[in-house]
Structure 1
Amino acid sequence: MSDAPSRRTLMTGAAAATLLAPGLAGAAAKAPARDADMAAIRKAAEAGYDASVKRIQDWIALPSIAAENRDMDKGADYMAALARDAGFTGVEKIATDGAPGVFGVLDVGARRWLAIYFMYDVKQYDPAEWSSPPLEARIVDKPGFGKVIVGRGAVNQKGPQASFLAALHAIRAAGKKPPVNLVLVCEGEEEIGSPHFRQIVTRPNVLAALKTCEGVIIPAGWQSPSNGGVSVNLGAKGVVEFELVASGEKWGRGPKTDIHSSEKARVDSPAWRLVQALTTLVTPDGNTPAVDGYFEKVRPLTAREKELIALAAQRMTEADAKKALGVDRWIDDLPWEKALERLASQPTINIEGLVSGYTGPGGKTVLPGRAVAKIDLRLVPNMTMDDAVAKIRAHLDKRGFNDVEIKVSGGYDPTETPEDSRLIRAQLASYKRLGAPATLYPRLAGSWPGTVFTSPPVSLPAGQFGLGHGSGAHAPNEYYVIESSNPKVQGLVGGTMSYVDLMYEIAKAK
């Protein structure tokens, strides 16, 4: 089903309510005023389709990359302009010790407030690995999906975020007001672990605005292509990113710079030093952290969490998961439900990359003076970033690796959100109304800085929401569906309307 206005007949009145999503034809009688609003907003979203597409493309064309300190001020200024254009007032760029953030409010005098989290930074990219230039945001036909925008940041997070902005434009174009007031909080360092985001959120005027809210959402586009299903996550793992560095200079052995490899016969190797340190961090198969005391704060899955995972195993398709990941087997050949339990419950120590010496074409026969491992940790309740790093430091020191440096670049603790919170109940109600099968899941295996919202002093429910589909985050050929050929999955307009629906659900939730 395409969402492009050129391929859809625009309808009015009660019939237009059927355009909102599958399964909505019978809902109009229950809430005629709401459905009349939704029909008018849908018509405006259809009319604004081209502008919405261009908004995504123009945003992709400006890559703010925190890891490279690239265009961070420009990215914040552009984010602020997008916010003002969508109707936010009091929009300001907030300085931090790192990249700036952006804050604004949209107060329409509604009874309730909802907070929205945006990030304007994206991951690095290598154009040689892409089928089309990553900043051109070309529209291409993707078999089985329809028309998609290909570009860095397409799904993580500019496509879904721009779809939320499109909802505000459509509401205004339809002559309506949002059913809730909004607080927008944005950062530019999510892709490096949000090291300064707390400075933005705890600024007095930002904190005061957040304290009025029912919860916080981050726009998402994760519908399953097989059944259109979505997950409602009751939390997310925390993350820590750091480098382990072994060098001849710090070690006092081996070369201080690269030397000829023939010298290995009599000179120590910092690269092998790093390898030896790394092998102590995990079990021999590399699958379980072996750091002293690493599991002492890990909270086991509760009975309710296990129940939710068992239900998820019935509703989610193992074959689809393996196909999406390009894997054939899980760790220890675990069955599907046990693999899901491990995904939700286990902390990890992962090697993102290893860098040492010469890595170009052919050989260079050097003995490197320095070796670096880029590491990320995923943390589960009740672990903390500071405690995990301290345990790794103590573990290495105890084994004589005092010289191996730990250089932390960013990270944050895990999050948890109550199942009975108004935010979660509204999400489930909205997905049900929109005909999207929703699976309540204990914990997102990935990470986002939701802990800044869920922990004191903010202490709000927080999570992801949105219809639509995209994939390839952090990878080449990242894409976001704008015209869906899959009747199970919404395109740009359907995704836009899902945010409108959630706002109405938040407004009326008891």
Structure 2
Amino acid sequence: MKLRSAFLAATTLIAVGSSAAFAKPGDPGREKVVAAIKADHDASIDRLRKWIALPTIANMNINHREGAEYMKQLVLDAGFQQAKIIDTAGVPGVFATLDAGAKDTLAIYFMYDVKHYDPAEWSSPPLEGKIVDRPGEGKALVGRGAVNQKGPETAFLTALRAFKTSGVKLPVNLVFVAEGEEEIASPNFSQVVTQPEVKAALEKAVGIIIPSASQSVDGQVTLLLGAKGAVELQLISSGEKWGRGPTKDVHSSLKANVDSPVWHLIKALNTLVSEDGQTPAIDGWYDNVKPLTARQKELIAADVAAGNEADDMKTLGIKHWYKDEDYLTASYRLAEQPTINIQGLVSGYMGPGGKTVLPGRAEAKIDLRLVPDMTKDEVISKLKAHLAKRGFGDIEVNVSGGYGPNQTDENSPLIKAEQATLADAKIPATLSARSAGSWPGVVFTGPPLHLPAGQFGAGRGGGAHAPDEWLLIESTNPKVVGFDGQAVLYADFLYEVARTAKKKN
């Protein structure tokens, strides 16, 4: 889940203060819920560690069915009355409902898959969930999925369990959908959402969230109003498909009179971007790109004025923005430009030293980032047509997953409930017009559901997709909540959703 880019475009401050959440009049039973969350702390962390120990890795065919069964049991244990596994053409999804007899319904999206990992790169086993000291911050749990997204999701389930064990009625009904393929761009998730029973349940919701832990070291949370879409694909050049060059690796001395599928791929890749290697050059690529609105530019400008360019560059490990643009221009570009990125190049001999071969096959792993109003089908069609027009029609375009961008109105009841919850908790928060990262929110914000969607939560973590991924469990920083604080905030959010929906009604 690609949930948050290194820095997010378009933000504006809405609240400041400490991070202690408190109740409002009309939140019956909240004290009991908070007490239940605190009493459940050790058991909650144990549940998180056990979940981390069972990784579902979609692109490696690891624990597909086991992950779905585990996800199903977790939501049943948290209080959902029914849960079922929804089979797809790939990894199964999970659908569940909780009828609290409330007037309003909130939808919840989970991913139960994680990125793969190399244990040799970790300071402790990636599936152990070891608790370590994090200087200046507190105690953190290290493990694959700790922050992306099993940690925040476990905190949400802990809040639900607290309602259940304390006998306090949930203020809203819940609809739950989960997938095990988010990390490969959700190729089959729409098959879950379009099931008649699932679709009918989601249509009753006021909006949908994915739990997140996005507090900065200063305690700030960024609320997302949208995210770029993503398409993952592989471009494959082979002597077999091309009809030229070898169909297998041959001796490199033959390069003088034998064509190279590797150079063929490189020449094709060169046509996808301009001479600077940055700007997309696919025919018609910008036909449906929607410019930033005046309001979005206003938010970006306000963020840049209050931001710290040097810190952003240090975090990213860079010394220049593209074309040496100023901070504001670079921030506009991050939010509004669709991209073509090479994740990796694979061909021939990849071991130490050299090996004199002329490879018969080469592959480029590509991701595309899309902005409104681009679509997955549109960009794939344009990519194929672009390659064919230039004599590269033999290159295979293997699309492994993808979806379009999503956008939610900042005035929607869901976003207002998020803002109000954080304001009451005295947690500083920002609005982000669009994340450069991606998640399949368009499945909900697009037709036929047209639901408001967002990522929500507090707490802090890092290292998503990287070694030593972590989630803060016990915070020594008064500006940042620990695990229990995350769970309490979710409980308060459920109360606030009911309150906000009531005002609208």
Band the TM-score falls in, shorter-chain normalisation: over 0.9
1:68 maps to: 60
1:363 maps to: 354
Does 1:464 pair with 2:455? yes
2:4 maps to: none
2:411 maps to: 420
Question: What SS does the aligned partner of 2:149 have?
Answer: helix
1:234 maps to: 225
- State the one-letter code of the partner of 1:280: T
C-alpha separation in 1, matches of 2:430 and 2:328:
14
Work out the number of aligned pairs and report it: 485
- State the one-letter code of the partner of 1:129: E
C-alpha separation in 1, matches of 2:271 and 2:29:
60
C-alpha separation in 2, matches of 1:42 and 1:473:
29
2:379 maps to: 388
1:72-221 equivalences in 2 (<5 Å): 72-221=64-213
Give the counterpart of 1:490 among 481, 486, 493: 481
2:14 maps to: none
Question: What SS does the aligned partner of 1:339 have?
Answer: helix
- State the one-letter code of the partner of 1:391: K
**CA deviation digits over 1:67-120, x for unaligned, max 9?**
111110000000000010000112101111111111111111112110000011
1:22 maps to: 18
C-alpha separation in 2, matches of 1:149 and 1:254:
51
**CA deviation digits over 1:205-254, x for unaligned, max 9?**
111111110000000011111x2111111111100000000111111111
Does 1:287 pair with 2:278? yes
**What is the root-mean-square deviation in Å for CA atoms of aligned residues?**
1.5
Q: 1:103 to 1:457 in 2, by over 3 A?
A: same
C-alpha contact (below 8 Å) 1:236/1:443 kept by paired residues: yes
C-alpha separation in 2, matches of 1:384 and 1:334:
28
C-alpha separation in 2, matches of 1:432 and 1:321:
26
1:5 maps to: none
2:43 maps to: 51
C-alpha separation in 1, matches of 2:307 and 2:496:
26
1:18 maps to: none
Give the counterpart of 1:319 among 310, 317, 320: 310
Question: What SS does the aligned partner of 1:154 have?
Answer: coil
C-alpha separation in 1, matches of 2:169 and 2:308:
40
- State the one-letter code of the partner of 2:211: P
User: TM-score scaled by structure 2?
Assistant: 0.93
C-alpha contact (below 8 Å) 2:57/2:64 kept by paired residues: yes
**CA deviation digits over 1:49-80, x for unaligned, max 9?**
11111111111100101111111000000000
Give the unaligned 5+ runs of structure 2.
1-16
C-alpha contact (below 8 Å) 1:239/1:413 kept by paired residues: yes
* Identity value in percent: 59
1:374 maps to: 365
1:7 maps to: none
Displacement of 1:268 after TM fit?
1.3
Displacement of 1:362 after TM fit?
1.5
**88-97 or 238-247, which deviates more:** 88-97
Q: 1:186 to 1:273 in 2, by over 3 A?
A: same
1:272 maps to: 263
C-alpha contact (below 8 Å) 1:312/1:440 kept by paired residues: no
C-alpha contact (below 8 Å) 2:71/2:112 kept by paired residues: yes
- State the one-letter code of the partner of 1:410: G
**CA deviation digits over 1:353-392, x for unaligned, max 9?**
1000011111111111100000000000000011111111
Displacement of 1:317 after TM fit?
3.4
Does 1:328 pair with 2:319? yes
**253-262 or 331-340, which deviates more:** 331-340
Q: 1:60 to 1:353 in 2, by over 3 A?
A: same
Question: What SS does the aligned partner of 1:58 have?
Answer: helix
C-alpha separation in 2, matches of 1:166 and 1:206:
24
C-alpha contact (below 8 Å) 1:246/1:372 kept by paired residues: yes
C-alpha contact (below 8 Å) 2:206/2:451 kept by paired residues: yes
Give the unaligned 5+ runs of structure 1.
1-20
2:12 maps to: none
- State the one-letter code of the partner of 2:355: K
C-alpha contact (below 8 Å) 1:312/1:441 kept by paired residues: no
2:424 maps to: 433
C-alpha separation in 2, matches of 1:335 and 1:262:
49
Question: What SS does the aligned partner of 2:208 have?
Answer: strand
Give the counterpart of 1:403 among 375, 394, 402: 394
C-alpha contact (below 8 Å) 1:315/1:439 kept by paired residues: no
Q: 1:315 to 1:224 in 2, by over 3 A?
A: farther
C-alpha contact (below 8 Å) 1:194/1:412 kept by paired residues: yes
Q: 1:24 to 1:498 in 2, by over 3 A?
A: closer
C-alpha separation in 1, matches of 2:80 and 2:346:
44
C-alpha separation in 2, matches of 1:250 and 1:268:
13
- State the one-letter code of the partner of 1:264: K
Displacement of 1:461 after TM fit?
0.5
C-alpha separation in 2, matches of 1:296 and 1:190:
28
C-alpha separation in 1, matches of 2:134 and 2:315:
15
Question: What SS does the aligned partner of 1:293 have?
Answer: coil
1:39 maps to: 31
**131-140 or 335-344, which deviates more:** 335-344
Displacement of 1:23 after TM fit?
6.4
**CA deviation digits over 1:320-356, x for unaligned, max 9?**
3333322232212222222221111110000011000
C-alpha separation in 2, matches of 1:288 and 1:489:
39
**CA deviation digits over 1:240-292, x for unaligned, max 9?**
00000011111111111011112112211111111111111011222110111
Displacement of 1:315 after TM fit?
4.1
Displacement of 1:311 after TM fit?
2.1
Displacement of 1:38 after TM fit?
3.1
Question: What SS does the aligned partner of 1:156 have?
Answer: coil
C-alpha contact (below 8 Å) 1:312/1:439 kept by paired residues: no
Does 1:506 pair with 2:497? yes
Q: 1:69 to 1:288 in 2, by over 3 A?
A: same
C-alpha separation in 1, matches of 2:433 and 2:26:
35
Does 1:447 pair with 2:443? no
C-alpha separation in 2, matches of 1:355 and 1:486:
44
C-alpha separation in 2, matches of 1:164 and 1:241:
29
C-alpha separation in 1, matches of 2:413 and 2:259:
60
